Structure 1
Amino acid sequence: MDLDALAAVHREEWVRLDRLSRRRRLSGEEADELVDLYTEVATHLSLVRSQAPDAEVIAYLSSVLARARSRQTGTRSASWRAAGDFFLRRFPAALYRTRWWWATTALANLAVAFLMGWWLLRHPEVETGLVGADRARQIASQDFEGYYSTYAASHFAAQVWTNNAWVAALCIGLGVFGVPVLWVLFQNVANLALMGSVMVRHDRGELFFGLILPHGLLELTAVFVAAGVGLRIFWSWVRPGHLTRGQSLAREGRSAAGVAMGLVVVLLVSGVIEAFVTPSPLPTWARIGIGVVAEVSFLAYVLVVGRAAVRAGETGDVDADLLEASVATAG
């Protein structure tokens, strides 16, 4: 196919579609014209992709079609209805569909953390070599507890929220490579095991769990979800099933993007608990109870709402009408 000839013949249609998409108001005739032009330009894009792939032309036509699609469907992404649809269908369905990935990730990491902590307690010289005897005493006597009340609660909530969101983003963003996700998990688990070992060795184990559990249950679950979803992205191109590797990777990537957006809210909740509940004067049982309620609520959300969404046909991927149009063409 001669790409220059195609552009010369149909450029006016492309420009016309772009102009109609940018107008605030359309007459009835113009609305019909926009729909017809959208179909024609989608066919042109399909031809270019399949017979004369040119990155610049593909990018231009894709942007024109995206604007036209938004013009036809309206500003759905900014509506409360769209937000409700996301949290009642797409996000919980993605969590439910990948539940075995992140549940297995969680169990494996907790087992590793326990074994590392037990090993460090059996080998105090290793712990001393990592943090030093004086530093370990300082952590156990002051620093670990003081960490949660060093800053104003609102500032601390924003800080931990940002940090945890970054860790989750790394797990999902680097998921396509697989190994970096395992490294991020190892760093978190190793730090948890080391702090636990230090606190238990200095008879501060009750304080350690009393401070970690209120926010840590939901926070660690969110990180494990991100890691499990990231590893699922990696597996999607290793074993794509009936799809091509590109199609499988694209599908899981779009679903993972939705999970990342949803986890921002989950981590906001854990950040608020860490800043306002963990260092509060509430009894330990009450603080842990709040953490347990938050964790059980999240799991119920996944298992009840997510299961219902999946049974209704939701996959966690974006709606079909928001995907780029593709038209079958003869080779």
Structure 2
Amino acid sequence: MPRIDIDAYVAVHSHEWARLEELIRTRGRSGAVSDELVDRYQQVATHLSVVRTSAPDGELVSYLSSLLGRARIAMLATRVPRWRAVTGFFTGRFPAALYQLRWWWLGCLAGNVLVTAAMMLWLLHHPAAEQTLLSKAEIDQLVNNDFAGYYSEHAATSFASRIWLNNTWVSAECIALGILGIPVLYALYNNIANLAVIGAIMIHHGRGSLFWGLILPHGMLELTAVFVAGGVGLRLFWSWVEPGDLTRTAAIARAGRTAITVAIGLAAVLFVSGMIEAFVTPSGLPTWARIGIGAVAELLFLSYVFVVGRAAASRGVTGDLDPTLLEDRVAAQS
């Protein structure tokens, strides 16, 4: 593109920039005014692209970048009411991200289930191994008191909040450390190893029905959420290893924004599993009813992913931010 006369360009377009300034300052924008704000934002973004390409004037680039930054904030604050933004997140971005990343977390889920089963079976076929992990007194305490008592020793509301915070932290850790890869595998291994050891000891000592009756109601949804976090963390790591058509920085940034979307959404999923663990798992309901409630919660989550998420993805929704909120670069018109 040939160089432009910067003074002439400013003279021609300064009134458009002034109009965007005016729209940013406008309070209580109507729908039409909000639409104009978006249109002006895109228009000025094009101007910035032209200036950067054809007449890189540092002062003007700084001004237009600042103007667009303030416009982005204004659009984000007034584009939709808060409740619609929340609704849009849970009917669009979050399920779409889960659906698009399904093979990563489904693979993580399948792999962890298989490893847990293998560990548990090995321990059951080598019962002497449990003596190297816990003393006889500790095993008796676990089997006869600690395992069942864990779910009823605290008030339900306090227990629910503790469980939610702990599991949200574990999931966030898997995602936050995803770029490193190995810490995610380590966190997942610790999680399933603990489950396999306790399960094998309980089953070996004739308390298998108690173990499954207390683990399954909340564990199906809770562990699925943890495996989703693990899969998303590993996908973040892979975006660094194999960025595809993007630069490595851009690939990591995109995967990171999607990972944040999933982390926020999983907090809600883990809240549900925490409520089940606090109020359903230790309740006096029959075992079949408690496990049934957990199974329904798991099926609802999977339906959410493969029905709502698939529909959102088919509309072009992703777990990433709206492109208009990401950068100032818009293709310049020749």
Q: 1:305 aligns with which of 304, 308, 330?
A: 308
Q: Which moved more, 1:160-169 or 1:31-40?
A: 31-40
> Does the residue aligned with 1:326 lie in a helix, a strand or coil?
coil
% same residue = 54
Question: What are the equivalent positions in structure 2 for 1:1-331 lying under 5 Å apart?
Answer: 21=24, 24=27, 40=44, 65-72=68-75, 74-76=77-79, 79-327=82-330
Residues 132-191 of structure 1: CA deviation (Å, up to 9, x unaligned)? 111011001000000001110000000000000001101111111111100110010110
Residues 186-210 of structure 1: CA deviation (Å, up to 9, x unaligned)? 0101100111011112110110000
Residues paired across the two proteins, number = 318
Q: Normalising to structure 2: TM-score of the pair?
A: 0.83
- Confirm or deny: 8 A CA contact 1:233 1:249 kept in the other structure: yes
Amino acid at match of 2:258: S
Q: Which moved more, 1:135-144 or 1:61-70?
A: 61-70
Q: Which moved more, 1:150-159 or 1:62-71?
A: 62-71
State the Cα distance separating 1:21 from its structure 2 match: 3.9
State the Cα distance separating 1:122 from its structure 2 match: 2.5
Cα separation, 1, equivalents of 2:286 and 2:50:
63
What is the match of residue 5 of structure 1?
none
State the Cα distance separating 1:327 from its structure 2 match: 4.0
- Confirm or deny: 8 A CA contact 1:22 1:67 kept in the other structure: no
State the Cα distance separating 1:61 from its structure 2 match: 7.7
Amino acid at match of 1:107: A
Cα separation, 2, equivalents of 1:305 and 1:122:
43
Q: Which moved more, 1:122-131 or 1:285-294?
A: 122-131
State the Cα distance separating 1:123 from its structure 2 match: 2.6
Residues 16-57 of structure 1: CA deviation (Å, up to 9, x unaligned)? 97897466468999x9899768855785599779x99x9xx9
- Confirm or deny: 8 A CA contact 1:43 1:326 kept in the other structure: no
> Does the residue aligned with 2:150 lie in a helix, a strand or coil?
helix
Q: Which ranges of structure 1 fall in alignment gaps of 5 or more residues?
A: 1-8
Q: Which moved more, 1:146-155 or 1:82-91?
A: 82-91
State the Cα distance separating 1:65 from its structure 2 match: 3.2
- When the two chains are superposed, the root-mean-square deviation of aligned CA atoms in Å is 3.4
> Does the residue aligned with 1:256 lie in a helix, a strand or coil?
helix
Amino acid at match of 1:248: A
Q: Which moved more, 1:198-207 or 1:238-247?
A: 238-247
Runs of 4+ more than 6 Å apart:
12-20, 25-29, 31-35, 45-49, 60-63
- Confirm or deny: 8 A CA contact 2:184 2:233 kept in the other structure: yes
What is the match of residue 4 of structure 1?
none
User: Structure 1 residues 205 and 76 mapped into 2: Cα distance closer, same or farther (>3 Å)?
Assistant: farther
